[in-house]
């Protein structure tokens, strides 16, 4: 792949059981400077380019409201950790379970950066959402240049097949 959406790997993330919950981790090397990737993680218009529409108040305790119009719902998370250009973490509420936490961590790496995305504390039935993260993150490098990448359920299902050996039965 070339151009603005270039990332140097498409490797699988990991799904780990921790008691009754699951933790997801995906690492990506992105050939974009930290500042551009940070903007794609924190500027609503850029987040919408790779993920979904969001409203946020970028401060600890601030709202992190994600809308999923294709599925007809939204979530109201809270920013839990904020270290500009390095770390952003927010809650991912679930009315039927304890909140999970999504954490983005950036570090410089040569002419680009390394992004680690974790989602911890997921109930068993949501462990497969790692495939969704995989597909969404594919569009993040393009979002650094204002390019929108459409998510499709078909692509997520295709990626889910690659994760089937890691997921709970």
The answer to whether 131 and 141 are in contact (CB under 8 A) is no
In the chain the domains, ranked by start, together with CATH numbers, are 3-163 (3.30.530.20)
pLDDT at residue 7 is higher than 60: no
Interatomic CA distance for residues 90 and 121, integer angstroms: 12
Coil vs helix vs strand at 32: coil
pLDDT at residue 4 is higher than 80: no
Higher pLDDT, 150 or 43: 43
To the question of pTM greater than 0.85 for the whole model, the response is yes
Q: Cα dihedral sign for 40, 114, 25, 11?
A: positive
Interatomic CA distance for residues 103 and 7, integer angstroms: 20
């Amino acid at each position: 792949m070339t151009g603005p959406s270039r990332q140097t790997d498409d490797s699988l993330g990991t799904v780990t059981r921790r008691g009754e919950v699951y933790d997801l981790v995906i690492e990506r090397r992105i050939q974009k400077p930290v500042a551009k990737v940070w903007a794609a993680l924190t500027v609503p218009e850029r987040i919408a380019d790779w993920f979904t529409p969001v409203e946020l108040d970028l401060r600890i305790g601030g709202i992190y409201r994600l809308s999923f119009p294709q599925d007809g719902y939204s979530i109201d998370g809270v920013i839990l950790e904020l270290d500009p250009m390095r770390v952003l973490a927010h809650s991912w509420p679930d009315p039927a379970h304890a909140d999970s936490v999504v954490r983005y961590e950036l570090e410089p790496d040569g002419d680009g950066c390394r992004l680690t995305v974790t989602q911890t504390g997921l109930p068993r039935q949501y462990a497969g959402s790692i495939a969704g993260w995989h597909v969404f993150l594919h569009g993040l490098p393009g979002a650094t240049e204002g390019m929108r990448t459409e998510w499709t359920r078909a692509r997520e299902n295709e990626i889910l097949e690659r994760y089937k050996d890691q997921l709970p039965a």
